[in-house]
Amino acid sequence: MSARAVSHAGVRLLAPALALCWLAAAPRFLRAQEHHPPELTSGTRIERYRALLAQREARSAAMSASLTVWAAHGSDRLPGAQGDLLVAGPNRMRLRIASMFGTALDLGLAGDSLRAYIPAWKTGLRLDSAAESLGFEAPGDRMVSALCATWRPPDSAWKSASWQDSLLRIAWLGAGTRWR
């Protein structure tokens, strides 16, 4: 028997075996797709944003994330650091940046108060009314909204929205502050 005859015989035996494997797997594959059809979104952009906003607000009630942070000063790059971010929406968050020897920075915001501690320097900062020092009210609320994308633009902001590159820019005035 020649090598060509052996290879044709192998293909003749292999083809039905592959077909049987595909047929055995196909119903399982099709059943999996039947249970999880792709989601199709409909409605206006505002309706879709608000539907996802409810999901983001629910997740922001208790969220945690691990971060890697790099700092740069001019052209000098400082070593990276690991961090943990904890969010307890709607107005509390804590950021702890680790160093080689323990915690480098521990920062907490709750409503209008701010707490920061740098253990290596044995220095801390406590502002019960951070609005007086930072120049804006409720830094905890703003940080949670920024981190979890839980802004609530009014309908008028959506009407005056504009596209810049591939981003939709929305701006509005609220509580004496311009939001973007």
| Structure-token pair, residue 50 | 């608000």
What is the distance between the alpha carbons of residues 159 and 44, in angstroms, rounded to a whole number? 12
Residue 62 or residue 4, greater confidence: 62
pLDDT at 138: 81
Position 16 pLDDT exceeds 80: no
pLDDT digits (tens, 9 = 90+) for 140-156: 888 888 888 888 888 88
pLDDT at 10: 45
Q: How far apart are the first and last CA of the chain?
A: 78
Q: What is the pTM (predicted TM-score) of this model?
A: 0.61
- The per-residue DSSP string of 38-80 comes to PP---S-HHHHHHHHHHHHHHHHTSEEEEEEE--EETTEEPPP
Position 176 pLDDT exceeds 50: yes
Residue with tokens 């120049």: 135
pLDDT at 117: 94
SS3 call for 36: coil
Domain ranges of the chain: 63-71+78-152
Helix ranges (DSSP H) in the chain: 3-35, 45-60, 130-134, 139-148, 155-159
What is the distance between the alpha carbons of residues 96 and 114, in angstroms, rounded to a whole number? 14
Q: Which of 57, 113, 65 is nearest to 90 (CA)?
A: 57
